[in-house]
Amino acid sequence: MQYTQRMKEWLLFDEETKQELLKITDEKELEDRFYKDLQFGTGGLRGIMGAGPNRMNKYTVGKATLGLANYLLENFSGEKRVVIAYDSRNHSSEFAKDAAQVLAAKGITVYLFTQIMPTPVLSFSVKHLQCTAGIVITASHNPKEYNGYKVYDQNGCQLVPKYADQVIAYINRITDVRAVPRLDFEVAKCSGLVQEVGEEVLEAFLAAVRTQSLYSAPSDLKVVYTPLHGTGNIPVRRILSAYDVSVVSAQELPDGNFSTVRSPNPEEKDALTLAIEQARQAQADLVLGTDPDCDRVGIAVRHKDDYVLMSGNQVGALLVDFALRFKKDTVNEKSTLVKTIVTNDLGAQIGRKYGLQVVETLTGFKYIGDCINRYEQGGNNEFVIGYEESYGYLVGTHARDKDAVVASMLICEAAAYHKAHGKTLVDALTELYREYGFYRDALDSFTLKGKDGAERIRDIMSAFRTAGISAFPQVAQVIDYAEGIGNLPKENVLKFVFESGSWLAIRPSGTEPKLKVYYSVRGKNEAEADADLEALRENIRKTLGE
């Protein structure tokens, strides 16, 4: 159907939708809203908020929820229960309430959080409340214009492709988004189909996190923390109660506009600007910043009177080293570290030294969570730690998703441990580099919006596939994950491994209109690694015409 015809239909939906659409004069904007439906993928829904089928709104949320409800009713026996959480983004609470009304209309019991809550708490609460599934309304670290809708299985793991595909099939059967049933919210509460939960579940989650503590010696560690206007404020401060923690007051309270930052993403260095300024004044040892749904954490470390930002690869390696210093006596032939294919190999090297198995998964923490599920069922592996380069870490099996609460606790414990030995986390990382080789990593994102952008991304990936081993100088191997590698699901990722052992990987983002290029360079020293990395990045920029 032409996008103009679809828009005419949406003009009849309701007055608010009609007025929003009539104010738009940019034809490209209208085309982007209507040329396709917002895709429900393995990460659920994620998109810009607004009217239209390619946007996050009550109609797209309702359609996804009805599809999920039908999937649960036809594939699970007994009483069906779903727990719903939401973050601080604009419209998150409304989308959560709307999803609850759709599920209640289908006779499914809903546990709805009464306050904003981190994604890892939602993951934990699925099993804690013995639910059939979970939903969290969040767009994680995306800009303020975005929101999203993630679905979790009965173990608290995001749906992996084989299950997501089944849910998608049910969603695609729904053709009239206006006909989605909703039970009045107050009626649903009175009937018990919607039950509100909150503090008691959070306390159970924090108790589970505390069992992962490794170092509890008294410490004078000073920490500055920012929740970046998100859900981490209460749980992170509670879990760090043993330390001297001050919060960035301007970023403490929920704010769906994230008014003090360009983007609420701790991967971006300017997200921690205010926190670092406060740390300088307080002479704090450590800066922590969590994203809106508190599943990612970024850090800066005071070192030689300056503050050094650390990457996800670096923090992950430090956590592996720290955890195994204390867990080495419990390591056995089943002990396993899980990382993604775009995460560097430093943490894996450390894990192998301690006797851990190392397993690689596709990009996305759902695959790490799925490993935990399979390990518990099969018994051939025991999960010790999992992490990805995009600032996501998990120790313990209380959640099946990355958890910035447990990560914040262990990062502070690692900093306190090394401080007691006269070192900073930067010193500790330098020692790891001396032992295992110097790593330099980077990520470049190329934004390509709209229908034209999506087509260009497809063309770029196709061109790299066609070029193969000749795409770059000195390529030793090309790994095309779209062909299916080992037992991994097929994924649109290309990895070029160079003769030096360095590599770069290229993939379209699953959550934003971006092409992502990951680089991992290992050199004899910092200067060599820096030079090799810059040469690779320049090659990519020239290839893409940037």
- 269 and 351 part of one domain: yes
pLDDT at 71: 98
DSSP single-letter state for residue 360:
E
Nearest alpha carbon to residue 506 among 299, 342, 347: 342
pLDDT at 542: 87
Annotation says 470 is catalytic: no
- 446 and 420 part of one domain: no
- 444 and 528 part of one domain: yes
Of 402, 436, 470, which residue sits at a domain end? 436
- Compute the distance between CA of residue 92 and CA of residue 61 in angstroms, rounded to an integer: 11
Of 160, 190, 205, which residue sits at a domain end? 205
pLDDT at 379: 84
pLDDT by residue (tens digit) across 38-56?
Answer: 988 767 899 999 999 999 9
Q: Report the interhelical angle of 27-34 vs 450-467 (nearest 10°).
A: 70
pLDDT of 263 above 60: yes
pLDDT by residue (tens digit) across 121-141?
Answer: 999 999 999 999 999 999 999
- Compute the distance between CA of residue 45 and CA of residue 54 in angstroms, rounded to an integer: 10
**192 conformational bin, left if phi > 0, alpha if psi -120 to 50, beta if neither:** left
Nearest alpha carbon to residue 385 among 426, 415, 424, 414: 414
Q: What integer is the mean pLDDT of 139-162? A: 95
pLDDT at 3: 86
pLDDT of 1 above 70: no
pLDDT of 523 above 90: no
Give the three-class secondary structure for 302.
strand
pLDDT at 510: 75
Residue 279 belongs to a domain = yes
- Among the residue ranges 224-228, 290-294, 340-344, 485-489, the one predicted with the least confidence is 485-489
How many domains is the chain built from?
3
- Compute the distance between CA of residue 369 and CA of residue 291 in angstroms, rounded to an integer: 20
pLDDT at 42: 64
Q: What integer is the mean pLDDT of 469-492? A: 92
pLDDT by residue (tens digit) across 189-201?
Answer: 999 999 999 999 9
Work out the mean pLDDT of the chain and round it to a whole number: 95
Residue 12 belongs to a domain = no
- 424 and 449 part of one domain: no
Residue with the larger pLDDT of the pair 512 and 210:
210
- 137 and 246 part of one domain: no
pLDDT by residue (tens digit) across 232-251?
Answer: 999 999 999 999 999 999 99
Q: Is-contact 157 370, C-beta < 8 A?
A: yes
Give the three-class secondary structure for 36.
coil
- Compute the distance between CA of residue 224 and CA of residue 245 in angstroms, rounded to an integer: 6
CA atoms within 13 A on the CB side of 540: 22
Q: Is-contact 13 430, C-beta < 8 A?
A: no
pTM of the model: 0.94
pLDDT of 546 above 90: no
pLDDT at 234: 98
Helix or strand (DSSP H, E) at 137: strand 133-137
Nearest alpha carbon to residue 48 among 143, 142, 146: 146
- Among the residue ranges 315-324, 418-427, 536-545, the one predicted with the least confidence is 536-545
Under the banding of pLDDT at 50, 70 and 90, the label for residue 524 is confident
Q: What is the CATH number of the domain that holds 389?
A: 3.40.120.10
Q: Over pLDDT 90: what percentage of the chain? A: 89
pLDDT of 520 above 60: yes
- 396 and 488 part of one domain: no
Q: What is the CATH number of the domain that holds 487?
A: 3.30.310.50
- 219 and 367 part of one domain: yes
> 419 — phi, psi (to 5°)?
-65, -40
- Compute the distance between CA of residue 142 and CA of residue 150 in angstroms, rounded to an integer: 14
- 170 and 91 part of one domain: yes
Instruction: Extract the runs of DSSP E, i.e. beta strands, from 396-502.
Output: 438-447, 475-480, 494-498
Annotated active-site residue in 92, 123, 125, 140: 140
- Among the residue ranges 17-21, 266-270, 390-394, 451-455, the one predicted with the least confidence is 451-455
- 397 and 280 part of one domain: yes
DSSP single-letter state for residue 448:
-
pLDDT by residue (tens digit) across 374-409?
Answer: 999 988 899 999 999 999 999 999 999 999 999 999
Q: What integer is the mean pLDDT of 257-278? A: 96
pLDDT of 338 above 90: yes
- Compute the distance between CA of residue 388 and CA of residue 267 in angstroms, rounded to an integer: 12
Q: Is-contact 90 49, C-beta < 8 A?
A: yes
133-137 and 146-152 as β-strands: parallel, antiparallel, unpaired?
antiparallel
Q: Over pLDDT 70: what percentage of the chain? A: 99
Under the banding of pLDDT at 50, 70 and 90, the label for residue 513 is confident
Print the domain residue range for 296: 211-436
Which amino acid belongs to residue 509? Answer: S
- Compute the distance between CA of residue 401 and CA of residue 387 in angstroms, rounded to an integer: 10
> 59 — phi, psi (to 5°)?
-75, -45
286-290 and 297-303 as β-strands: parallel, antiparallel, unpaired?
antiparallel
